[in-house]
Amino acid sequence: MSEDLREMLTDGAVHEGDVVTGEVTSVDDSGVTVALSHGFEGVISAQELSAIPGTDASQVLKVGDSVTAVVTKVDMESGQVALSKRRAEQSEAWARMQAQFESQAAFEIQVRDVVKGGLVADVGVRAFIPASLVDRRFVEDLKEFKGQTLKVKVVELDPEKNKLILSRRAVLEEEQESRVQELMEKLQPGEVIEGVVQRLTDFGAFVDVGGADGLVHISELSHTHVEHPSDVVKEGDHVKVRVLRVDPDAGKISLSIKSAQPEPWEEFATEFHPGDVVDGVVKRVVDFGAFVELRPGLEGLVHVSQISNEHVAQASDVLEPGQEVKVRVLSVEPERKRISLSMKEDNGGGAREQQPRRREPRRQPERQVDTSSGTGATLGDLFGDLFKK
């Protein structure tokens, strides 16, 4: 070390605790060398570069960068000045994070590492994003986020415990809520739009219609009866839906797949004419007859008087749901959305090759009459002689 530099150090030109600024002259695995004013050389060790232990120096600084650091030690023998970029940033960082927490404004961070349970970032102090706050949905592998720039919010901080918790999920949910409100202002009841099935429940299907999920109730999935939504759609399906209702205050959108499809009467009714003999399936049985499905969603009524040439008291005596039948069209009334059918035979060959069989009542077992006298002899044995006279 030169006498001039030793004299400057001795005179106290650089003190521990001073905040100094210099230019990075070299970067290696051990840390960073910084050229300070008056010819001093400062060294920032790897552990003093970042709030994240084990951070690669080249990820933080490069040659030519200007850096501000705190003087942690002055070595009179070598003339080197130990610096800490981490300490210089801490005080300012906590003040900045406190302001972010109070304003709840979103800001960007870069993910430095993936650890058990979440992500780690350096914002002047160590910041942690728990796995549950990384996304709106569960993330299987967090490694995909390493090195990424994410928009986050401060949800918890405690400088004394060196604790800073960030949330990306809070930002995503806020953005989602904004998209939902914007979408609801645009959606109009009655319009038909495209969507993607997101998830199924016992009572219906949730469909994404451009940033917001709307519910298609199970009764609005199809013109035919649906036992479970999975019988009609599956997750990932692209579907057309009609907007039924929009409730911005409740954040709810009611949709219908059924209403976005042609009415069965519009699609199939013109296929049928009086006298036609067609196949169908019994869908419902009531006291006055049976409803037979001719095409999906299109049903006709076989009145109880038209089930058989023989008298039928109740349709359920002869028919049951799911039964395949052959019927003859009696009349078609599009304006009333009604088709009358018959299963009776007619002189022209009839609607059926044979009449439906009546369900036979369960026969009671014949009662056995004990004709024995209790003595081991039958009545014939005891009174046979009387019949001979």
Residues 239 and 302 in one domain: no
pLDDT tier at 245 (50, 70, 90 boundaries)? very high
Predicted confidence at residue 370, as pLDDT, reads 45
Query: pLDDT digits over 124-183, tens only?
Result: 889 999 999 999 988 989 999 999 999 999 999 999 898 999 999 999 999 988 888 888
- 288 vs 8, which has greater pLDDT? 288
d(CA 308, CA 300): 16
d(CA 78, CA 60): 26
Whether 353 is in a domain gets the answer no
Domain count of the chain? 4
Whether 352 is in a domain gets the answer no
Residues 7 and 75 in one domain: yes
Whether 82 is in a domain gets the answer yes
- 23 vs 334, which has greater pLDDT? 23
| Span of 41-50, 191-200, 371-380 with lowest mean pLDDT | 371-380
Residues 60 and 7 in one domain: yes
Residues 82 and 29 in one domain: yes
> Residue 11: pLDDT above 80?
no
d(CA 299, CA 128): 62
Residues 7 and 77 in one domain: yes
Whether 163 is in a domain gets the answer yes
Residues 243 and 293 in one domain: no
CA pseudo-torsion sign 309, 311, 313, 317: negative
Residue showing tokens 């409740």? 250
Residue showing tokens 């709810």? 252
Whether 181 is in a domain gets the answer no
Assign 164 to helix, strand or coil: strand
pLDDT tier at 376 (50, 70, 90 boundaries)? very low
- 312 vs 217, which has greater pLDDT? 217
- 145 vs 269, which has greater pLDDT? 145
Residues 81 and 110 in one domain: no
- Please tell me the number of Cα atoms within 13 Å of 301 on its side-chain side: 13
> Residue 386: pLDDT above 80?
no
Average pLDDT over residues 56-68: 90
Tell me the average pLDDT of the chain.
Answer: 84
Whether 388 is in a domain gets the answer no
Predicted confidence at residue 366, as pLDDT, reads 47
Residues 249 and 197 in one domain: yes
Whether 218 is in a domain gets the answer yes
The residues, any chain, with a CB within 8 Å of residue 242's CB and separated by 6 or more, are: 190, 191, 192, 255, 256, 257, 259, 260
pLDDT tier at 307 (50, 70, 90 boundaries)? very high
Please report, for the domain that includes residue 204, its CATH number: 2.40.50.140
Average pLDDT over residues 1-26: 70
Instruction: Please say which residue of 228, 243, 260 terminates a domain.
Output: 260
Instruction: Please say which residue of 39, 60, 87 terminates a domain.
Output: 87
Whether 380 is in a domain gets the answer no
> If 0-12 CB within 10 Å is exposed, 13-18 middle and 19+ buried, where does residue 114 land?
middle
> Residue 221: pLDDT above 60?
yes
pLDDT tier at 6 (50, 70, 90 boundaries)? low
Domain span including residue 138: 104-172
Residues 160 and 196 in one domain: no
Q: Is the pTM of this model over 0.85?
A: no
Instruction: Please say which residue of 217, 241, 260 terminates a domain.
Output: 260
Residues 256 and 315 in one domain: no
Query: pLDDT digits over 85-100, tens only?
Result: 988 888 889 999 999 9
Q: What is the 3-state secondary structure (H, E, C) of 66-99?
A: EEEEEEEEECCCCCEEEEEHHHHHHHHHHHHHHH
